[in-house]
Structures are given as structure tokens and as C-alpha cells.
A and B are shown apart, each in its own frame.
Chain A
């Protein structure tokens, strides 16, 4: 065998090996995205009211992928950023009927239905975003026991995390609602969950 043929064979196998490494890596990356969204726990039962007065319970989470946040309308720090980010996701996924958004106020004394409605008009562009209020004790319980997020010194002390819930009511992952990289991550994970169906 002459040197050229030897070199060609080496080149061919190098490319073949790189191809296999590439295929393996791409597959691992895809798998890892699904594995990274492992089930954390199930959302417990709760009952709050949307700003239009219609009750919202855990049953409304069934067969929907839901992004949840805790906010209050007078909040000047994180909430506007979190809500803007949720509004951005709402727009980007506006063609999807499976995705919905939920924001729960940690200041139900001030945040009346009307005020939540005004807040909704500011950030939401579609009727798949629910702004919920209820008894403050129920909200604290839902945050701490349901979502494992601290809720002390309310209204200010609410968590700034966004929660991703799958269509079987399972909590899948948390995202810092004010960090752009986390929002990109959330967007990718929503796509992963939608495509899993």
C-alpha cells in the first residue's frame, strides 16, 4: 500500500471517529436537557381567584405547561422585570395553546381585582395569563409548602424565581426571573416540554 492510500485511510477514519463523537455528543446534549427537567414534586391543591373573579385551582394546571411567579403590583424592583420577561415569553409562544402563565400577588390587601386587572393590561397581551389573589395565609402556604420558596416579610420578601410546571401538575425547574440567561434557559425548556408531547 502506498503512502497516499495510507494517509487517505487515516483521514477517512479520523473523520469517521469525529462524526461518531459528534453524533454521541449531540445525543447526550439532547438527553441531558430532558434529564435536567426531572420532576421535583407535585403542586398541592390550592384555591385562589383570578382578577375577573373566576376561581383558579390546581385543576387549571392540568394539560397545560405553566410558568408561575409571585409578585405584587407596588413592587418596584424585581416584579416589573419578571413580568416583562413573562410577557416576552407569552408573545414568543403566542401560537401555543398549551402554555399558560400565572402570577400570584403577595399583597392581596392592596392588590384588589381591579388593580390586578390594570397590572395585567400593562404586561399581558393574551388571555392565557392569570393574575391571582387570595387569603395571604393561603399564598404563604402555597409558596413555602407547595413551591418550596421562602415567603417571609411579605409582600417584599417573595421569591423572584419563576416556576415551570408540566401538564401533569409537576414542578420541573426554577429560574431566576430577573436574569436574562435564565429566561433563555426557560424558553428552551418550554420548547423541550412542548416537543416531548
Chain B
């Protein structure tokens, strides 16, 4: 019952955090980051203005754009909601699971991460969207969903211990999942680096076309593609090893990882060769964030202490 409560709370926090990453990505691709020039309030108000007359006279209204203000504010509001859901998770953890170190520490860490990332959000705004800080804001969000995914799977295992007994442990597979996770992180950092540099180049050269911007990048943009295909190779291996696994969730996540890598490569190529780059960018970023959490869940499924 208590374990069930913790698990549900962790799942809600995780799903909300993934939604938050989606909305955060939406803020970035739609260029709404300065929608509210102040922080935490928006043009001096807790509810963003719907009309320019609502803005207090001491605040400069030059950049007022109602659409951008509400996009940016939805990110902040959802962030607050995630914060509350993690506070609830922590209350449950402190009340019932102080001795269950995996659950207790992961809850505390998620609270620290969400608070830190909220604070970083304020710095992002005051830096007028410094591309490095924007990217760091996303990397912290990825760390948050990693920790929350861990809390989810560890509490799930406590509830369903019987499913995880008598599992064969495949050390090669476990190791390859660790390698896969590290490579995913490297791949995301490379992708973030490409985006950061595109934005930096674009600030200095606002009239460059997409092709010219890509040409202005260093050659490490090819590493991103190369690593993408390496990950495809590795995920095919992981999938083939998991196909006959006794655990349904492990088989399912094996398919998920392979499918997601294929979708990601497809989206990545689309961004280079076709239009609609913003929506593609959004799902490219968001999909990669799912991989980070899913690999953590999978690893902790198949390499667990209840197995033989």
C-alpha cells in the first residue's frame, strides 16, 4: 500500500517532468524564452497580462507579446506543478521510506534537482537566453527524469518482487546498457552543442540560412550522425538479447529503444533536409529525453538484486 503510494507518486512526477521537458522544448523552438522579461512573475504579475494596460507603469512594455508570455509562463507553471508533485513524493519518502535508501535518496535528489533547475530558469531569463545556460537547463532536466525514473523502477520492484526473482542475469547485456546510456548522454550533449553553436552563430549572423548555419559548424556535427548510427547498431543488439527475456517490461522496452533510435535518426535527417524544422526539433529533443529514462528503467529491471 505504502509502496504503491510511492510508486504512483513517482510515476506522476516522472510523467509531469517529461511533459515539462516537452513544454520547455516548445519554449525554445518557438523563441518564447523572453516572453516574460522578469522572473518569477511575468511583467510584474503572477498571472501574465492579457492586455498591455494591465502591465504596471514601472515595467518596460517594449517586448510585450501576449502569446510568447503565455508560452513561457506555461513552462514556469508546469515547473511549479512538478515541484509540488516532487514535494509530495518527498513527504511520502520521509514518512515511510527513511530506511529504504534507494527510494529515500532518489526522492531527495529529485527535489534538489528540480529546485536547482527552477533557480537556473531565473538565471536563463536574466542572461537573455544565453545558449549555454539554456542547454544546461535542459541537461539538468534530463538528470531529473533519470533520478525519477530510477525511483519509479525501484519502487515497482519492491511491489512486484516475485516478477524479478529467478531472472537470468546477462552481464554482457547489463554492461551494454551502461555503455548505451553513456553514449546516449554523449549524443545528447553533442546535439545540444550543435544547437548551442547554431544559436551563437545565428545571434552574430542573423541572416544566415539553415544551410549556411550548418556549414558554419565545426566538423563535430558529423560525430552526432556517426554516434547515432552506432546507437542504432547497439540498440539492435540490445533488442535481440531482450527478445526472449522472461520479463514482459524488458521485452517491451527493448522494442521501444530500438524504435526510438530509428525515429530519432529519421527526425535528425528531416531537420537537415526538410522544412518544419521547429516541430521536428521539438520531438528530436523530447524523444532523446525518453531514452535517458527508459534505459535506466531497463537496466534496473534486468540487473537486480533479486535475481539469481
Binding site for B on A (CB under 8 A): 4, 18-19, 22-23, 25-26, 28-33, 36, 92-93, 95-96, 173-176, 179-182, 184-185, 187-188, 190-191, 194
Contacts and interface: CB of A to CB of B under 8 A. Distances in A.
Contacts of B206: 92-93, 187-188, 190-191
Q: Which of B65, B207, B278 is most buried by chain A, counting CB atoms within 10 A of its CB?
A: B207
B30 interface: yes
A181 B30 CA distance: 17
Nearest to A99: B207
A32 B284 CA distance: 25
B128 interface: yes
A182 B60 contact: yes
B26 interface: yes
A29 B63 CA distance: 13
Contacts of A173: 62
B207 A181 contact: no
A174 B31 CA distance: 20
A9 B249 CA distance: 17
Contacts of B55: none
A28 B70 CA distance: 11
B70 to A, nearest CB: 9
Contact of A29 (B22, B30, B62, B207): B30
A93 B278 CA distance: 24
A57 B88 CA distance: 66
Nearest to A89: B206
Interface residues of B, number: 28
A28 B26 CA distance: 12
Contacts of A174: 62
A176 to B, nearest CB: 6
9 contacts: A26-B30, A29-B31, A29-B67, A33-B31, A95-B205, A96-B207, A173-B62, A182-B60, A184-B128
Contacts of B37: 181
B283 interface: yes
Contact of B63 (A22, A93, A95, A182): A182
Contacts of B278: 26
Nearest to A188: B31
A43 to B, nearest CB: 19
Given A19-B279, A181-B128, A92 B63 contact: no
A93 B207 contact: yes
A32 B128 contact: no
Contacts of B66: 32
A36 B65 contact: yes
A32 B22 CA distance: 21
Contact of A22 (B203, B205, B207, B282): B282
A96 B205 CA distance: 11
B204 interface: yes
Contacts of B283: 19, 22
